[in-house]
């Protein structure tokens, strides 16, 4: 599995990882097997959040999956905006560490801009770094204005990543967010890379282009989509898979190498569109 430097952290992280949103709704044993198979295949970037999994169910799934293998994993979690005061962020991190049965997170994110002053959240993140509870911190669902505020508070080199919605039919972050992140050395982590249930239909205009390129590589349209979404050095993706067969398909995307012509065809088949008023989220 290809690895890239994760923003300014200097840590090499797999370009494809494993998301876990809504995994609590899947068969627990199957989800744990899938996560473990993903680790075996090099998908060692594992993403979760305190919001995911009613009553910490999801963090417990992750903790069981990575038990005995913690040092292999680049483990990411997120604080809910409603908890993101200075004291609330520290307390939320402690709860997540307990739920995940670990002594540190590799990256800790603010899930989206919220009601509390961002200065308090950033100050708490830096305290957690100093105390060894987290190795780095970042943000999620931040538009350019939000990123500018975070940069002004933290200074250069502190924001490790921005985790945002990104799939073939939702490329809005290419207007401003990706260029901003690349300028400031911030990794861009795309969540819901298959569109959360809205993947292009095979008989749609875009789906036909996707299918043709997939057949040329003896790959699946999903694998081609993943490779398009990580085509730049700043980009990472965290597809969710709750079945071993699905996670193996995701991992196999690493062997698909798209040509410049194929990237251009996909770019034309799934046009960027106009810049929206706000940042799209799920």
| Per-residue confidence (pLDDT) for residue 59, from 0 to 100 | 82
**Average pLDDT, whole number, for the chain?**
95
**188 and 162 Cβ atoms separated by less than 8 Å:** yes
Q: Is the pLDDT at 53 greater than 80, yes or no?
A: no
Residue of higher predicted confidence among 259 and 273 = 259
Sign (positive or negative) of CA dihedral 44, 58, 140, 220: positive
| Exposure string over 2-27, b if 16+ CB within 10 A, otherwise e | eebebbbbebebbbbbbbbbebbebe
- List 52, 166, 191, 222, catalytic entry: 52
Q: For residue 25, what pLDDT band results from cuts at 50, 70 and 90?
A: confident
| Per-residue confidence (pLDDT) for residue 197, from 0 to 100 | 85
**High-pLDDT (> 70) share of the chain, %:** 98
191 by DSSP, 3-state: which?
strand
Instruction: Name the CA dihedral angle for 118, 120, 123, 127, rounded to a multiple of 10 degrees.
Output: -130
| Per-residue confidence (pLDDT) for residue 51, from 0 to 100 | 87
| Per-residue confidence (pLDDT) for residue 55, from 0 to 100 | 47
Closest-CA residue to 170 (of 216, 122, 237): 237
Q: Is the pLDDT at 270 greater than 70, yes or no?
A: yes
| Per-residue confidence (pLDDT) for residue 134, from 0 to 100 | 98
52 is catalytic: yes
Residue 22 CB-half CA count within 13 A: 8
pLDDT mean over 39-62: 85
């Amino acid at each position: 599995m290809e690895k890239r430097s994760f923003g300014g952290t200097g840590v090499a992280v797999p370009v494809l990882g494993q998301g876990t949103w809504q995994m609590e709704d899947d068969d627990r044993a199957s989800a744990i097997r899938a996560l473990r198979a993903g680790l075996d295949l090099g998908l060692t970037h594992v993403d979760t959040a305190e919001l995911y999994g009613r009553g910490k169910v999801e963090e417990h799934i992750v903790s069981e999956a990575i038990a005995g293998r913690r040092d292999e994993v680049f483990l990411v979690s997120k604080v809910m905006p409603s908890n993101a005061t200075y004291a609330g962020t520290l307390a939320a991190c402690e709860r997540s560490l307990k739920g995940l049965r670990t002594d540190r997170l590799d990256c800790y994110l603010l899930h989206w801009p919220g009601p509390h002053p961002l200065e308090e959240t950033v100050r708490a993140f830096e305290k957690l770094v100093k105390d060894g509870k987290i190795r780095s911190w970042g943000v999620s669902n931040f538009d350019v204005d939000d990123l500018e505020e975070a940069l002004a508070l933290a200074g250069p080199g502190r924001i490790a990543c921005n985790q945002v919605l990104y799939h073939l039919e939702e490329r809005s972050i290419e207007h401003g967010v990706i260029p901003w992140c690349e300028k400031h050395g911030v990794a861009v982590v795309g969540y819901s890379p298959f569109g959360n249930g809205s993947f292009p239909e095979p008989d749609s205009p875009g789906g036909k282009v996707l299918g043709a390129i997939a057949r040329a590589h003896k790959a699946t349209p999903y694998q081609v989509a993943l490779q398009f979404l990580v085509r730049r050095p700043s980009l990472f993706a965290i597809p969710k898979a709750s079945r071993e067969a699905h996670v193996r398909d995701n991992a196999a995307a690493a062997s698909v190498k798209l040509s410049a012509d194929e990237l251009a065809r996909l770019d034309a088949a799934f046009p960027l569109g106009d810049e929206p008023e706000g940042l799209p989220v799920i």
